[in-house]
A and B are shown apart, each in its own frame.
Chain A
Amino acid sequence: EVQVVESGGDLVQPGGSLRLSCAASGFTFSTYWMTWVRQAPGKGLEWVANIKHDGSEKYYVDSVKGRFTISRDNARNSLYLELNSLRADDSAIYYCARVGRDSQYGYFDYWGRGTLVTVSS
């Protein structure tokens, strides 16, 4: 069974940092693009970042470029998102998801339950 499980969300002050993790199982992690999507409380969905199966290509939404870094460790079947210079509008549930095709342009076929990041003083 395909599973992705996020962790690392927390309450952090504006300007602070956080590292989110996503543990994947049930599929050959090293052959899939992966993605992070976020959802502010009571709001819609926003794509955040994508990473190629070998980590050689990374893409970000403009609002997080230079502040967030997506990475992966295929030996550990894990995906990460480093969040720096956090702002109040970064507060959201962050979902890890698998990209359902071998491309940076893909739909998201398996999602985790998410991890909550709250940025507040």
Chain B
Amino acid sequence: DIVMTQSPDSLAVSLGERATINCKSSQSVLWSSNNKNYLAWYQQKPGQPPKLLFYWASTRESGVPDRFSASGSETDFTLTISSLQAADVAIYYCQEYYTMAHTFGGGTKVEIK
């Protein structure tokens, strides 16, 4: 199975500052036949279900604020919040859907400094 490793485990960022979350997969999630990375990002606020933010590594889901961006390819991916808002306090997960295991990363907790 693919192992998805997120870093850091947690980070505290001041309001209005940038937050960057990394996700590394143990093998490439780039499907050569369609040149798409099978990687999604989710946000989970306390007491709520996960919410899809990005799929295909960088395609923003409808309604997601544009202060959120995502990038990367093959094995290395990044989720960036350009200007952290109080509403962004949450745990963020990456997930591969390249294999049937649909493995999630361990999560990164984002808090306000």
A58 to chain B, nearest CB (A): 11
**Which of B10-18, B19-27, B74-82, B92-100 contacts the other chain?**
B92-100
When A and B form their complex, what is the total count of cross-chain residue pairs whose Cβ atoms lie within 8 Å? Answer: 55
A100 at the interface (CB under 8 A from B): yes
Q: Is B51's CB under 8 angstroms from A47's CB?
A: no
Q: Which of A44, A107, A112, A113 has the most CB of B within 10 A?
A: A107
- Taking CB atoms, residues of chain A closer than 8 Å to B97 are 105-107
Q: Is B49's CB under 8 angstroms from A44's CB?
A: no
Interface size class of B (residues with CB under 8 A): 20 to 34
- Taking CB atoms, residues of chain A closer than 8 Å to B106 are 44
A47 to B49: give the CA distance in the assembly, Å.
14
Q: Is A107's CB under 8 angstroms from B52's CB?
A: yes
A111 at the interface (CB under 8 A from B): yes
Given A37-B50, A112-B49, A113-B49: 17 more A-B contacts, CB < 8 Å = A45-B50, A45-B107, A46-B104, A47-B102, A47-B104, A50-B102, A59-B100, A95-B50, A100-B52, A105-B97, A105-B100, A106-B97, A107-B55, A108-B50, A108-B95, A111-B52, A114-B49
A44 to B51: give the CA distance in the assembly, Å.
14
Q: Is B100's CB under 8 angstroms from A95's CB?
A: no
B103 at the interface (CB under 8 A from A): yes
- Taking CB atoms, residues of chain B closer than 8 Å to A112 are 49
B108 to chain A, nearest CB (A): 11
B residues with a Cβ closer than 8 A to A are: 38, 40, 42, 48-52, 55, 61, 93, 95, 97-107
Q: Is A100's CB under 8 angstroms from B98's CB?
A: no
- Taking CB atoms, residues of chain A closer than 8 Å to B38 are 105
Determine the residue in chain A with the shortest Cβ distance to B31.
Answer: A105
- Taking CB atoms, residues of chain A closer than 8 Å to B95 are 45, 107-108
